[in-house]
Structure 1
Amino acid sequence: MIFATVGTQLPFDRLLLGLDSWAAANPGVPVLAQAGATRRRFRHIACVDHMGQPAFRAAMQDARLIVSHAGMGTILSAAEMGKPVILMPRRAKFGEHRNDHQQDTVREMARLSNVTVVEDGEALHAALDAARARGFEAPARRGVAGGDALAPLIETVRDFVWNRGAMA
């Protein structure tokens, strides 16, 4: 199963439309998406608007591949679980976000061995096809340590992201 998440605050139809068209051509691969604020309905992917944290983590655990916007919580969880992840950053020029900070995020996260970055539906299709050809395993390491070597970084960023609200 592929699990996709686009966050809950803003629609991200560009990612979901690309995923839906790929799923149409690959009906044997189930896709579940946390579609957030989208108003569209999709024909080839199962969508829910919102998932509680336990259901979200269970979906990530069950997934063989994660497809996501460049949300740090998802990136950290995928790294922690050792899941391959395809990231498509939201773009301000398409009205998907207020600024392009997700571009900066993916530029840094692309160095991780479990991360593939795409910019559009065509690149998403190619990345999904490549992931399927690998049996949905993470891409070959690109010289950046993963797993235990990332544990301190993951822990520090997770503490910042999850505890930030408690500090306000």
Structure 2
Amino acid sequence: MIFITIGTQEPFDRLIQAMDEMAAEMPHIEFIAQTMKGVYVPKHMKCYDFLLPSQFDDYFENAELIVSHAGMGTIISALVKERPIIVIPRLLANKEHRSDHQIATARAIAGLGYVNVAYDITELKNKLKTLIQEPKVLHKLERFASEELIEDLKTFIKTPKK
């Protein structure tokens, strides 16, 4: 099962439509999405505008792969729970968020080698096909921060921004 989560702030039609198209191409795989009310109405996957935390956790725990916006809560959960994840940042230009901070988040976390990042729908679909064949967790995060992570975060915070 592939679990798609977009957070709770705004719809993310670009991601939901892409995943719905993939679900149509792969009817042997169950696609489940936490979607919110967007303009696009999915036809090929099970969708929920809202999930209780216990429901969300069940889907997250049972997913073979997570596809998500570049929200740190989801990224950290995937790393702690050792779930393969692909993140795609929301874009300000598409009015998917109020800033482009998710691009910065995606670049930083990808630079550490912790998650799979797709910056556009073509890249997302290619990475999805690869990870369906060979699910791979790139990094495991302990429930509490390791010394290595703390040092990586310190370096990231102290690095001048471009």
| Fold equivalence (TM over 0.5) | yes
Sequence identity, in percent? 37
| Correspondent of 1:152 among 145, 148, 160 | 145
- 1:118 Cα deviation after fit: 0.6
- 1:42 Cα deviation after fit: 0.7
- Retained in 1: the 8 A contact 2:30–2:45? yes
Determine the structure 2 residue equivalent to 1:160.
none
CA distance in 2: counterparts of 1:4 and 1:113, whole angstroms: 21
- Where does the alignment leave 5 or more consecutive residues of structure 1 unmatched? 157-168
Determine the structure 1 residue equivalent to 2:106.
106
Determine the structure 1 residue equivalent to 2:158.
none
Determine the structure 1 residue equivalent to 2:13.
13
Counterpart residue type for residue 107 of structure 2: R
Determine the structure 2 residue equivalent to 1:58.
58
Determine the structure 1 residue equivalent to 2:136.
137
Counterpart residue type for residue 48 of structure 2: V
- Retained in 2: the 8 A contact 1:18–1:122? no
Determine the structure 1 residue equivalent to 2:128.
128
Find the residue that maps to 1:44 and give its secondary structure.
Answer: coil
**Normalising by structure 2, what TM-score?**
0.83
- 1:38 Cα deviation after fit: 1.6
After the TM superposition, which parts of structure 1 deviate over 3 Å for at least 4 consecutive aligned residues? 111-114, 145-148
CA offsets, 1:33-63, max 9 Å, x none? 0002324311111100011111111110010
User: Mapping of 1:37-116 within 5 angstroms?
Assistant: 37-113=37-113, 115-116=115-116
Find the residue that maps to 1:33 and give its secondary structure.
Answer: strand
Find the residue that maps to 2:57 and give its secondary structure.
Answer: helix
- Retained in 2: the 8 A contact 1:84–1:114? no
CA RMSD in angstroms comes to 2.0
Aligned residues: 148
**Normalising by structure 1, what TM-score?**
0.81
Counterpart residue type for residue 146 of structure 1: K
- 1:112 Cα deviation after fit: 5.0
Find the residue that maps to 1:99 and give its secondary structure.
Answer: coil
CA distance in 1: counterparts of 2:45 and 2:112, whole angstroms: 27
Find the residue that maps to 2:4 and give its secondary structure.
Answer: strand
CA offsets, 1:94-120, max 9 Å, x none? 010111000111111114555111122
